[in-house]
Structure 1
């Protein structure tokens, strides 16, 4: 790489007199070249990922392909014997595969960054030493606080990661720091490409007047920190700072203002600085989310149970197959959302994946192949992600070609998380080291397989914010428990170490089978049937729908609906539904009150009389719990019976009479 760099440097010197107003004389050029360094990190290659074919690494240019390091920025040496760069070049806090940083000189000699002597995130600079670097008198660049606008300046840096280049321009203006005006940025027209960050802005005599930090968003001007600002920090300290507005994925109506400010003592190694600041920063995020939970968490003052929509949440049950996400929209209304553009990807042996995305997360429901037991999906998370790589189009770009990923391998880390309602989520993190990223998934066992949601982001984001956001969202996931009888058998026969992690609501679901009868219970509702009344088999389906309630001031999930049906693909279809409906209350919306009154007063079709709809005959019956009068009911039950064929009024009455004998309600 350095031969290529030298070529460009020589070419620049040769052409500068033609294309530039001012060029560096040879002595200055040599001094600058010896004092400016690339900031590099060691390359990391994934060992667990399986690709559809061998990566075409031979397409990568020779100099890059054979370099064991990856350039990320620029640093420079001053006459005080210390190195300087922009703070954002080095990962001061947050997890990353790049734990060591190096400076590389023009002769390709590499030195590891050692002690951080000073830094300021606001001003965007770091002062540091390098292991094994021997400083002697005469080395390094001098600084100069004096400059004139419209004078010639040069940007020096590792432009585009292809070696140190020097480019000329003018010092155009100064502009106040945006927050408090504590200093003025230097603005200049000399080109500064990605990789120039941390390099020196110099005068024609080679003296440093600033540290290159950022590029203007709206015009072709770049910014540098005046070099005198490197003395702004109190001796022996470094300061981190971030001013941000935090947004939770499913709370679209509110951005929470927050600051991160921390001052630590120095000198310390980069690893020590990273560890200390990471703990402080991550705790700052946790504190921020906890503040937001006071309003928008499941027990928050502005959650759906304290909203205008609360009656709908407490009265209704929903029956969609893909779990929903409860969210607070931009209009400040609580509602249910389903993933966008839900698609189905077919697996072998009748398996499939329903998948979509929303709020920057993937959502999927995996129904495994017939030969893969439910237990396998839970205890072997690799199998889940192996299924997901194709529909999610996971791939890696290698010099313009997308190479599909077949497997991410075993998770780098696995843990469990218990949400507010006691549901246990299986959390897994998969490494994508080539991008310094993680694929994080939260999965919940269901009778038909698993539901999961997750995201791919940088390690720093996943380990600082995404996992907290995902934990917050678990409280707002609304699942449906449903599937064929053969799948429910697997669900109920899961090992005790898995079943013991179920929530109270999930543990209330149970099933007992004998040769010719079946008993299902979901807490307040129990249904016992015999094959002479309903000819069920492995393809028959059970559905349990949940709803919200408030008990002793606490929001809880209750099993409110039990549905048992024979297979729709076979003759003599029959269905039983037992639904618990909660009284919406006197202050509920008119539509909800009307619905409740229709049930209480047994208005048709809830009058225990058969009726026809499409190709089925139905009968709906209202059952009141023992105790209070109808006008004081907290809830009631709707029993719905259905058989295939129209006008089978006698048959549906007999069917309902026989099935009702096996129904027990609390």
Structure 2
């Protein structure tokens, strides 16, 4: 070493430094390649999994299960609702148009089938004139003569009979099980427009009393009524009040549109009239 010149010593130091630096670089690259991925990359992967990528979805109407059930009940119950008209069917044919029907028949109210063999429930005041004849128009636009089987002496209830069978009908519920706050659906037939009307609300009162104008007997008080917070549409009288099981729990009878309330007779009040009608038909 003593024989080395100053220049050679400097070159040797530089060479050792270069070799050392090169070796350090190689070791560092090797360690990085073999080491786990950086923590920031790991975090980004976790975030990526938590936040899903944007997915293109075709636009469609979303109906919640409760709403879907309500729509189904209304659709099925509407098939059993009829328009009650004053008149006869002798001048009506299969080709008679709605406009011609309007000229020949007078809208009176609504009703609904309670059996597949043609028993129709309605209000007494709708068919109160015993000198007139009545016709019902079903949801599919067909017309049938309707015989008045009974008019209740104590309630605004009447039972009609339509000849035929396999009619869509609404099963009867139990009005004793009605609770304030439950959903109620009032259906009817807007006879002037030949289409069903629907009001959905909640039962807001029980055992109510309301005055109804009967065109045949004048003003009369109706008692034990179901009150709902939905105004009765024109023509709803005589139509069914239905619960969320699709059963008739009442018969729409009177409404107060300005107060946005309607009233219905509990279906249990019509049970005897319906039973008597079945007995009469069988005999």
Alignment of structure 1 residues 120-519 onto 2, 5 Å? 120-130=152-162, 132-135=163-166, 139-145=168-174, 146-159=177-190, 161-162=192-193, 163-177=195-209, 184-216=224-256, 219-232=259-272, 236=276
What are the residue-to-residue correspondences of 1:518-529 with 2, within 5 Å? none
**Does 2:86 correspond to 1:41?**
yes
* Corresponding residue of 1:476: none
Distance 1:16 1:112, change over 3 A: farther
Assess, with a 3 A threshold, how the Cα gap between structure 1 residues 16 and 144 changes in structure 2: closer, same or farther. farther
User: Tell me, what secondary structure is at the counterpart of 2:79?
Assistant: helix
In structure 2, runs of 5+ residues without a counterpart are: 1-60, 89-96, 212-220
Equivalent positions of 1:7-46 (< 5 A) are 22=67, 24-25=69-70, 27-42=72-87
Q: Higher helix proportion, which one?
A: 2
Alignment match, 1:79: 115
What is the number of equivalent residue pairs in this alignment? 198
Q: Does 2:106 correspond to 1:70?
A: yes
Q: Which has the higher contact order (CA 8 A, sep 6+)?
A: 2
* Distance in 1 between residues matched to 2:128 and 2:222, nearest whole Å: 25
User: For residues 22 and 189 of structure 1, do their structure 2 counterparts lie closer, same or farther at Cα, with a shift above 3 Å needed?
Assistant: farther
Contact 2:124 2:151 in 1 (8 A): yes
Q: Which whole-Å deviations, capped at 9, do the CAs of 1:159-211 have from their partners, x for residues lacking one? A: 373221222111110134579x9962100122312311100011123211100
Deviations 1:200-225 (A, max 9, x none): 01112321110001124873211100
Contact 1:156 1:167 in 2 (8 A): yes
Work out which of the two has the higher radius of gyration on C-alpha atoms and give 1 or 2: 2
TM-score by length of 2: 0.58
Contact 1:187-1:224 at 8 Å conserved across structures: yes
Which TM-score applies when normalising by structure 1? 0.27
- In structure 2, the residue corresponding to 1:108 is in which secondary structure? coil
Residues 122 and 216 (structure 1), Cα distance of their counterparts in 2 relative to 1, 3 Å cut: farther
Cα distance, 1:66 vs. partner?
6.1
CA contact (8 A) 1:23 1:204 kept: no
Q: Distance in 2 between matches of 1:29 and 1:105?
A: 15
Structure 1 counterpart of 2:134, from 81, 87, 101:
101
Question: In structure 1, what is the Cα distance between the partners aligned to 2:62 and 2:84?
Answer: 26
Any conservation in 2 of the 1:33–1:106 contact (CA below 8 Å)? yes
Distance in 2, Cα, partners of 1:155 & 1:142: 15
Corresponding position: 1:110 with 2:110: no
> What is the CA distance between 1:133 and its match in structure 2?
2.1
2: distance between equivalents of 1:170 and 1:16? Answer: 24
- Distance apart, 1:228 and its partner CA: 0.5
CA separation of 1:16/1:69 partners in 2, compared to 1, >3 Å: closer, same or farther?
A: farther
Q: Is the 8 A contact 2:116 2:165 kept in 1?
A: no
Confirm or deny: 8 A CA contact 2:83 2:189 kept in the other structure: yes
CA contact (8 A) 1:87 1:120 kept: yes
User: In the TM superposition, what whole-angstrom CA distance separates every residue of 1:325-376 from its partner, at most 9, and x where no partner exists?
Assistant: xxxxxxxxxxxxxxxxxxxxxxxxxxxxxxxxxxxxxxxxxxxxxxxxxxxx
Structure 1 stretches lacking a partner, 5+ long:
1-14, 44-61, 238-265, 269-666
The answer (yes or no) to whether the contact 1:168–1:191 under 8 Å persists in 2 is: no
After TM superposition, the runs of 4+ consecutive aligned structure 1 residues lying more than 6 A away are: 15-18
- Residue by residue over 1:395-444, the C-alpha shift from the partner in whole angstroms, topping out at 9 and shown as x without a partner, is xxxxxxxxxxxxxxxxxxxxxxxxxxxxxxxxxxxxxxxxxxxxxxxxxx
Q: Quick one: distance in 2 between partners of 1:41 and 1:214? A: 20
- Normalized per residue, the structure richer in strand is 1
Residues 1:232 and 1:183: Cα distance change in structure 2 (over 3 Å): farther
Q: Secondary structure at the match of 1:29?
A: helix
Change (3 A) 1:178 1:108: closer
Separation in 2 of the partners of 1:112 and 1:160?
15
RMSD after superposition: 3.7
Q: In 2 relative to 1, CA 27–219 (structure 1 residues): closer, same or farther, beyond 3 Å?
A: closer
How much does 1:157 deviate? 0.5
Distance 2:72 2:189 in 1: 21
Aligned residue for 2:197, secondary structure, equals strand
Pairwise CA distance, 1:111: 0.9
Q: Is the 8 A contact 2:135 2:146 kept in 1?
A: yes
Match of 2:128 among 91, 98, 107: 91
